[in-house]
Structures are given as C-alpha cells and as structure tokens.
Structure 1
Amino acid sequence: MNSIRDQEASIGRHNDLELHDIRHEADSTSGIARLERTDAPSLHSGTESRRSAQHRRRAILTVLASFVLTFTGCGLNFAFGVYQELYETLPGPFAHASPGTIDLIGTLAASLMTIGAPLASAWTKVYTPRTVTLIGGTLLLLANTLASLSTQLWHFLLAQGVLLGCATCLSYIPAVTIAPGWFDARRGLAMGIILSGTGVGGVVWAPALRALNAAIGFRNTLRLTGGIGFALVSAAAMALEWDPASAARIAAERPSPPSRRPARRSRLFPALRSTLRTRIPLVNWRIANSRLFVAEAAGAALQAAAYYTPVYFFSSYARSLGYSAAAGASFIAASNASSAVGKVLLGYTADRAGRLNTLLFCTLGFGGNDRARALFVAFAVLYGVFAGAYVSLFPTVLVELFGVQNFASVNGFLYMVRGFGTLLGTPVAGALIHSGGARVAVGFGRGGRAAGEYAKSSVMVGALLAAATVSVLWVRLEVGGVGRWKA
C-alpha cells in the first residue's frame, strides 16, 4: 500500500510539473504574441519611413536630372539670340537672308521642342523616360554636328532648326511629364527649380557661345556644344523614372500580351512595330469640349506666340541701341538669370498663394517701343522674371485643373498648342523687324532708325501678352470665380 501511495504521489508531482511547464509555455507564448502585437506597428512604421525616405531621394534626384536636361536643351535654345546676331553679320549662306528668315532657325527649334510633345509623352509611357531621353541626347549631338558642316541656309534650317528641335523635345518633354507626379504640396517649387534650368542655361550658354564663336569659330563651337550636350543629357537620363503611382497606372493601361505565339516573321524589328502601334494619348472629349480647356489652350497659344520674340532679338536690338556684341550677349544672360530666379521664387509663392493666381500674375506683361537704354535693361530683367515663371507654372496648373490621371494627355496636347503658337508668332515678329530688308546696324545711336524698326514687333508682343492675360483670367473665373481666392 505504501509503495502504491508513493507511486501515486510521484505521478502527482510529475503531473504538477508538466502542468507548470505547460502554463509557463503558455505564458511565454502569450508574451511573445503580445510582443509581436506591440512591435507590429513599429515595424510597419519603419517600413513606411524607409519607403518615404526612398521616395524623397528619388524625387530630389528627378529634380536634379530634369534641371540638367532643361539647362542643356532649353538653355541652348534660349541662347540662340547669340547665333541670330552673328548670322545677321556673316556672309556666305546668310548673305541675302532677312532677320525673319534667320530667326526661323531658332523658331523651328523652339516650336518643335513642344509640337512633338504628344509623341514624346506617348513614347515615354510605351518605353521608359530614360530610353526616350537618351535618343534625344544622340539627336542633339547629330544636329549640332550637321549644323557645323552646313553650307546653305536650308542646311541650317534642317539641322539647327528641325533636328535640334526634335532632339530637345525628346529630352525636355519626358522631364516635365514625369516630374509633377513625384510631388504634391511642393509641386510648384519643384517645377520652378526644374525649369529654372532654362534660365541658368541661358546665363551660362549665351556668353560662353559668344566667347567660343570669337575664339574657335561658330562651326567648332557647334561641334563642341553638341558633344557637351550629349554627355550631360545622357548622364541625366540615367536618373529618370516614373513615380510608383504613375508607373502602376501605366502598367495597368498596357494591353495584355497575346496568348498565341507570334510567327517568326512578326518578331522582326519589334521596336519599330511598337512605335508604329503607339497610341498617342488623346484628350478626353469631355475635357476638350469644356470652356476651361478652351480658355487654357487659348492662353497657352497666345503666350507662346509672344514668348520667344524678345529672347531671340535681345542681342540684335541691343546693337541697334549702340551696345556692343558682348553687351548684347550679356543682356540675354541677364534676362535668363532673372528668369531662373523668378521661376524658383514664384514657384514657391504659387504653392502658398495658389498656382493659378500666380500664373495670372505672370501674364501681366507689357510691350511698347522702349528705345531708352534704361527702359530696355529694365524690360530685359522683368520680362525674364515673369514670362519665364509662366512656363514653370504651366504644367503644375494643368495638374490642378485636369487631375493627375489626365495630365499626360492634356500636357502633351497643350504643349503642342504652344509649339504652334511659337511657330506662328515669332516669324511674324521677325518679319515686322527690318521689314525693308535691313540688317543689323552697328553703331546706331539712341533712338536711331534701326531701333525704331523694332516698334511694330514690340507692340505685337504686348498685344499678345494682354490677350493671354485675358485668357488666364477666364480660366481663373471658371475655376473659382471671385469667391475662392486661392486657386
């Protein structure tokens, strides 16, 4: 009996130990579960923090790369006034060319930079921003090289005009298309920094081109700028990519691949077939038929028709006032410098006072026959500040008005509209200058006849900017009327 009791006691102690172990294990498991539940939010928060930091780094890198692209392509276009003034004084292919005909070279480059925007936007979605931009850099090198070998005026029109415009389009449009998607609250400031590259580029390129033209000749200068431009554009292209939300939306829009295996013959030249099948993003008819869209398109076309005329003729007009060629290039640089500062400061202001309000303020331009030197200097600076800021605020306003989902199609179409405005407005202004066929008059004094020949184009620019102001005011009233101050 005692042995039986001892065995039962031993079994009981063993069961108590097992029960204690089970409870201890349960408590430990419960503690681990509680620990996991406690750490789960912190782990999730840490992941979100890393993603947010990575997003910020990518956004900053996109701004820097896009700045380099506008500095290179657009900056060279904005410095064409140096070539305008030089070509007007050169014999050979430009001997019997009027200022309006020579201006057509820069006008073609500036207008095609945006006329091709729908195609450039579509290719940026079908391929990648990097691929399209690299093609643009290659064409930039080719265009400048061919221009350096040109011997006839039509050679320059094709190389330095048409081909260079296509090259700039394929490097500029991807940058301004993908950049707004990386930002929200600071979109105006970001686009101001990006598009200040056009002003900074003009500051750097205008005096550099004039010095190089004098030192090594304009043909070697074209070759050198082509090589430098290719290197800068190619390096910046490596950093371009869509923001995650836009990338997911583009992936969802792509058609699914066919289930049937294609024949061997259809696999030839796949890139060419994809290009031919590319759908140009069309603007939604409901949007295009709205008064808001019509008003925005009218303002874009009118502002673009006036925009490039002062920039291209700053140098030659300064010569007519008695300034030297070096001073003329300095005026281009000063206007571009003020444009760069204005784009950043007004972009920052737009994020707080309203992007459309700031855009309306920037269209309040002025024109006239400002022959006095002091008035001309003031015009060069103020025009750079306000006209340049319009360009940087333009894409940010499109996002506000039509939404991110419609931005690519609306942006491409309205940039094309701006290109046609440039193509029509700038040659007309050039034809009004020296309509009698006179060339740059070196040494004319203040108020001389050569300076007076710019009066008609100056009035035209002022009228176009006034009409653009009315169009943007129309947009402002369509959006919020007078009761909504921030828009």
Structure 2
Amino acid sequence: MDSAPPVIALTRLPSTTTRSDRSQSPVTAASESTALRPVSKNRQILVLVSSFLTIVITIGLNQSYGVFQAYYISPSQIILNSTDNSPALVAFVGTLASGLTWSGSIFINPMLTRISLPQLRQLCVSGVLLMSLGFGLASISSTVWQLLLTQGLLYGVGSSLLYFPILSSAPEYFNERRGAAMGFILSGAGIGGLLFSPLVRALLSNIGPRWTLRALALIVLVVSLPIAVSASPSRFLGRRPTHVDLKMALKPTFLLSVCAGFLQSGGNGLPLTFLAEYSVALGYTAAFGANLLAVNNAVNAIGRILTGWVGDRVGRQNMLCSMCLLCVAAIAGLWLGSIGDGGRKGLWLAFVVIYGMAGGGYNALFPTTIAEVFGLQAYASVNGFIYFVRGLGTMFGSPVGGQILGESKLGNYREVVIFDALLLAGATVCVVAVRGLDAAEKRAWRWRA
C-alpha cells in the first residue's frame, strides 16, 4: 500500500472551526485547518514564473494604458468618431479594466475553495479568452462607450479570472523569503509596463490603433494560455476561510487596512494614467511621454524587488510606512513643483523616477503585510476583500482626477496633484496606524515588523 504524502502543520496559525468541529480535539482541528501540501523546488519555480508573467500580462498592461489615454484624446487619433473626447471618460476605460481586475476578488476567491484543480484551470482559460476577446472587439470600436465595454469591461473581467486563481495561493509557496519572492512576482507590473508602453506607442504609430489592439489580443493568448493550463492549487489541504467574518471586520487593523487600500489605489494609479498626457502638456512629444511611462515602470519593477528584499530584513510594515511617506513627498514636492514657472522638467523627471520606486514598494509589500498582520490562513479572505475595495478605489481616483482636470493644460493639473496627494496622505495615516495597532493587539512591540 502506498503511504500517504506528508503534510506540514502550521500550528502557529489560528484554526477555524465550525459547529460540527466542537467535538474534535483542538490539536486535530488545528492540524486539519492548517495542514499544507509539501512543495518541491520545481513547483516553487513554476509558481514564481507563472505568477510573474500573470502580473506582466494583467497589471503591466493596465499600467501602460496611459499611452492609449494620450492617443485617444489626441487630435490625430483615427479610431473614435468624435475628436472631442472627455479625458475623464477615456480615463475610465483604463481604470475600469484595472478596477475589475482587483474587485473581482470578492466573487472569485470564494469559488477557488470549492472547485477542483481542472476546474480552476478552466476558470483561468476562460479569463484568458475574455481578455483576448476584449482587445479584439475593441479593435472594431468607434466610440468611447464601446471601448468601455471591450477594453474596459471584458478585459477587466477576464484579467481578474486569471489573476486571482494564480496569485491567491502564491504566498503559500514561500516562507522566510516571502517578501523577496512576492517582490519579484509583483515586479512584473513594472516590467510589463516597461515592455508594453513603448511597444504600444510604436504599434500605434506604425500599424494604427485597430491592428495594435489585435496584436495585443494575440500576445495575451500566447503568453497567458500556458499559465492558465498549468495553474497551481492552494497548498492548504483543508478549506480556507474565503469570507471575512464579523469579528475580523470589526478589528481596527482590518478597517484601517481597507481604508488604506481604497485611498492608496485611488491615488497610486492617477499619476500613471496621466503621465504621458502630462508630459505632452509640459512640452515633451507623445513618444517621449510613452518612454517616460516605460522608465517609471522599469523603476517600479526595481522598487518592488528591492523593497521586498529590504523589508525581509528591516521589517515589512516598517518599509511599507516608509514607501507611503515617500509617495506623498514625491507627489506634493516634485510633481506639484513641476507645474510652476511654466513647467519645470527637471522636477518632473525626478518625480517619474522617485515615484516609480516608492509606488512599486507599496504594491510589493502590501500583500506580505496582510499575511503578517492577519495570518497566512486568513490571507485569501482578507486579501480578497481588500483587493475588491482597491478595485473600487482605482475606479474612483483617475476618473475623478480627469473630471477635475478638464482640458489637458499645464495649469489645470495643480488641483489634480493636490487631490492625489490628499488620497495618498490619508493612506499613509492608515498604514502607520495599522503598524501601531498590530503591535498593541499582539502585546509586543518589535522594531523589526
């Protein structure tokens, strides 16, 4: 008879028991609720690469939308019937895609504990097909509302169906080096933006918008289908909680984390949406604006890796607070300063680099601190809900910023920058408060946390 595969019990994690479990011994219940599948080095590498590429093709593509934003509102665009398109409405195409990518978590994560591995992979494949279909149908669109339904809605739903089945279990495959591993995985957002921003700009210039969108539809299929058919299961042998219970929902750390997620996502995406457009208002060419977006994404990728690595050594929550403060300083100091005296290009270039580093750090560290504050077993439920709220924040920030902006003139950006700084300052206050309250709840202050 074959022996049963070994399991690993994480006895330091809290167990979740139901009414029927009360007759079981506490040790048995804890063991069943926290038992993990063994993991091989090859499986870790597969999870690392698949998760990285998933981020590239979902978040990375979303972060390059600023190139489309600048093109769709430019007088030279040849895809939309109207030449007077609202920047706020055009911005909502990209933020709808980004928002749905994240907010789909509240529907998808509960499904993941109830389906088999073949069904999980089918879910991923359906997501890939929707993403590709979204770009394909966008290529025959001629109005902004059609782009909202295709490049926004279809692509966003599809990317969420791929993103969460792959990413929700990724932290489970890494222990001591979880910060570095997640930093590398999430650096895919910056790498994706670095690759797609100049690529999209070059394609728009050489083959036009319709064939650009068709090319992206093909790229999504080629890159994403292998990821979908090789998706890895959760390591937990028992069912993880997928809903946030009332006790968790009333915890101050949870409420503040939710608030931080909404404010940060609303503020974080706004500079990326308008980066290429603002560069043109500052006097640069559209091509140079696309290149600056690529530079920002490259620094963003480096920032995610470095801050994850440093966070493992000095404390992930400490690093998260520091990156939030740096984001606010970059927005209020450099971006706002670049508007004065008819435009200060040196300050703007400094902002592109520093904000890319700081913003990348926040996005890399936030998932790891969720696991640290709320426990690995609660990661899926808490992370899923917070990402749902982050999706709502994304759909709030850039469209409101576009409405504040009106016409894309240099002086009109001042109120947009102040709005962005206020969002990120609020997020910083919440993150710092979580750091203190988490130590108070655990009754132990640690400098390295």
TM-score range, shorter chain: 0.7 to 0.9
Distance, in Å, in 1 between the alignment partners of 2:448 and 2:321 is 12
Q: Contact (CA 8 Å) 2:102, 2:390: kept in 1 or not?
A: yes
Distance, in Å, in 2 between the alignment partners of 1:357 and 1:175 is 28
| Residue 66 in structure 1 maps to residue 51 in structure 2 | yes
What secondary structure does 2:304 align onto?
A: helix
Distance, in Å, in 2 between the alignment partners of 1:212 and 1:425 is 28
Q: Contact (CA 8 Å) 2:89, 2:144: kept in 1 or not?
A: no
Q: 1:415 aligns with which of 378, 387, 393?
A: 387
1:100 alignment partner in structure 2: 88
> Please, what TM-score do these two structures have when normalized by structure 2?
0.85
> Please, what TM-score do these two structures have when normalized by structure 1?
0.78
Distance, in Å, in 2 between the alignment partners of 1:221 and 1:341 is 28
1:175: Cα distance to partner? 2.4
The C-alpha deviation readout for 1:414-456, integer Å capped at 9, x for no partner, is: 000111111112211111112xxx3x5xxxxxxxxx2111111
Percent identity of equivalent pairs: 36
Q: Which runs of 5+ in 2 are unaligned?
A: 1-5, 7-35
1:395: Cα distance to partner? 1.3
What secondary structure does 1:126 align onto?
A: coil
| Residue 229 in structure 1 maps to residue 220 in structure 2 | yes
1:174: Cα distance to partner? 2.1
Alpha-carbon distance change, 409 to 167 in structure 1, aligned in 2, over 3 angstroms: same
Distance, in Å, in 2 between the alignment partners of 1:477 and 1:306 is 23
| Residue 284 in structure 1 maps to residue 275 in structure 2 | no
Q: 2:292 aligns with which of 331, 334, 340?
A: 331
Q: Contact (CA 8 Å) 1:144, 1:159: kept in 2 or not?
A: yes
Distance, in Å, in 2 between the alignment partners of 1:476 and 1:402 is 12
2:374 alignment partner in structure 1: 402
What secondary structure does 1:404 align onto?
A: coil
Alpha-carbon distance change, 94 to 390 in structure 1, aligned in 2, over 3 angstroms: farther
Q: 1:480 aligns with which of 433, 439, 448?
A: 439
Alpha-carbon distance change, 156 to 54 in structure 1, aligned in 2, over 3 angstroms: same
Instruction: Identify which range, 105-114 or 231-240, moves more after superposition.
Output: 231-240
Q: Contact (CA 8 Å) 1:124, 1:132: kept in 2 or not?
A: no
1:392: Cα distance to partner? 1.7
Matches within 5 A, 1:40-55: 55=40
Distance, in Å, in 1 between the alignment partners of 2:418 and 2:57 is 31
What secondary structure does 2:187 align onto?
A: helix
1:53: Cα distance to partner? 9.7
What secondary structure does 1:185 align onto?
A: coil
Instruction: Identify which range, 169-178 or 216-225, moves more after superposition.
Output: 169-178
The C-alpha deviation readout for 1:118-140, integer Å capped at 9, x for no partner, is: 21212333334423221111111
| Residue 359 in structure 1 maps to residue 320 in structure 2 | yes
Give the aligned CA root-mean-square deviation in angstroms: 1.9
The C-alpha deviation readout for 1:308-361, integer Å capped at 9, x for no partner, is: 110011101000111011100011000000000000010011111111111111
Matches within 5 A, 1:274-313: 281-313=242-274
1:82 alignment partner in structure 2: 67
Distance, in Å, in 2 between the alignment partners of 1:317 and 1:185 is 41
1:237: Cα distance to partner? 2.1
Distance, in Å, in 1 between the alignment partners of 2:165 and 2:370 is 16
Q: Contact (CA 8 Å) 1:87, 1:94: kept in 2 or not?
A: no
The C-alpha deviation readout for 1:187-232, integer Å capped at 9, x for no partner, is: 1111111111110000000000110111111110101111111121
Q: Contact (CA 8 Å) 1:73, 1:229: kept in 2 or not?
A: no
What secondary structure does 1:281 align onto?
A: coil
Distance, in Å, in 2 between the alignment partners of 1:53 and 1:112 is 33
The C-alpha deviation readout for 1:348-387, integer Å capped at 9, x for no partner, is: 1111111111111111123242231111111111111111
The C-alpha deviation readout for 1:85-128, integer Å capped at 9, x for no partner, is: 00011264342321111101001011111111121212333334
Distance, in Å, in 1 between the alignment partners of 2:375 and 2:82 is 47
Whichever residue aligns with residue 306 of structure 1, its letter is G
**Larger radius of gyration, structure 1 or 2?**
1
Distance, in Å, in 2 between the alignment partners of 1:311 and 1:94 is 24
Alpha-carbon distance change, 195 to 156 in structure 1, aligned in 2, over 3 angstroms: same
1:483: Cα distance to partner? 3.6
Aligned residues: 395
Q: Which runs of 5+ in 1 are unaligned?
A: 1-43, 45-50, 254-279, 441-449
Q: Contact (CA 8 Å) 2:73, 2:84: kept in 1 or not?
A: no
Distance, in Å, in 2 between the alignment partners of 1:71 and 1:94 is 32
| Residue 347 in structure 1 maps to residue 308 in structure 2 | yes
Q: Contact (CA 8 Å) 1:145, 1:223: kept in 2 or not?
A: yes
Distance, in Å, in 2 between the alignment partners of 1:143 and 1:122 is 25
Distance, in Å, in 2 between the alignment partners of 1:52 and 1:471 is 35
Distance, in Å, in 1 between the alignment partners of 2:314 and 2:228 is 33
Whichever residue aligns with residue 164 of structure 2, its letter is I
Distance, in Å, in 1 between the alignment partners of 2:186 and 2:347 is 27
| Residue 124 in structure 1 maps to residue 112 in structure 2 | yes
